[in-house]
Chain A
Amino acid sequence: MSEEGVVKKFMFVNRKAPYGTIYALESLEVVLISAAFDQDVSLAFLDDGVFQLKKGQQTKGIENKNFSPTYRALDGYDIEKLYVEKEALDARGLTEDDLLVDVTVMSSAELGKLMEEQDVVLSF
């Protein structure tokens, strides 16, 4: 890299449910690749994006790859900042216990503040 040693804050904003569109899977793949560049990476889950982290996904019947276990690999990639919007969970009848990874739950406003602090926001 030309700017060796420069660490920027990257936030991946995930707002789509996992199987209806390709956004969630595409985001996850870019996140895994980004881990190779030693940047300050965080993931935010808003709106239907919180469904990506729902426990108990069984995709055999729709003949799709179940990529939800991969979120549990993120820790091994040193991606530990996962933020979930509380309002999004509430609106969907979910709580933190429904999610398959450890996350930080925060309000929309807190999330908006974090978003402002990023150098780069990647929208999915």
Chain B
Amino acid sequence: MLHIVNKSPQDRNTLDSCLRVAQAGGTVLLIEDGVYAVVKGNAAESKLKAALGKFKVCALAPDVDARGIADRVMDGVTLVDYAGFVDLVAENKNCQSWL
């Protein structure tokens, strides 16, 4: 199952909620302000590191680039483009957006 998070972890608890509920083996895709969670040294880094062991963690590259954080992405995070986003939606059985 695909879980999409679009809120900054410093602004909202959306990422926490997602990681609390999501089942191991699923995919977490960070988009929009959600991509701030992948920055090395950010306050949510340890949470995201733990998540990397449980889920496939992806971030939408255009959103990462737009925010000037492309050179600070944590190891283990997979960057995807828009076509990759569509592939993720297509290859997962269902999808929850953590609005």
Binding site for B on A (CB under 8 A): 13, 15-16, 23, 46-47, 85, 87, 108-109, 111-113, 115-116, 118-121, 123-124
Contact = CB atoms under 8 A, between A and B. Distances in A.
B78 interface: no
Contacts of B95: 121
Given A123-B99, A124-B99, 17 more contacts: A15-B17, A46-B21, A87-B20, A108-B20, A108-B21, A112-B21, A112-B22, A112-B23, A115-B21, A115-B23, A115-B94, A116-B23, A116-B26, A116-B94, A118-B94, A121-B94, A121-B96
A123 B96 contact: yes
Given A46-B17, A47-B13, A47-B17, A13 B23 contact: no
A19 B93 CA distance: 32
Contacts of A85: 21
A15 B99 contact: yes
Nearest to A87: B20
B89 interface: no
Sorting the interface of chain B by its residue count into under 10, 10 to 19, 20 to 34 or 35 or more gives 10 to 19
Interface in B3-57: 13, 17, 20-23, 26
Contacts of A113: 23
A66 B8 CA distance: 32
Interface in B62-99: 93-99
Contacts of A115: 1, 21, 23, 94, 96
Contacts of B26: 116
Contacts of B93: 116, 119
Given A46-B17, A47-B13, A119 B94 contact: yes
Nearest to B97: A123
Contacts of A13: 96
A15 B98 contact: yes
4 A-B pairs with the lowest CB-CB distances in the bound complex, closest first? A123-B97, A112-B21, A108-B20, A112-B23
Contacts of A47: 13, 17
A111 B21 CA distance: 7
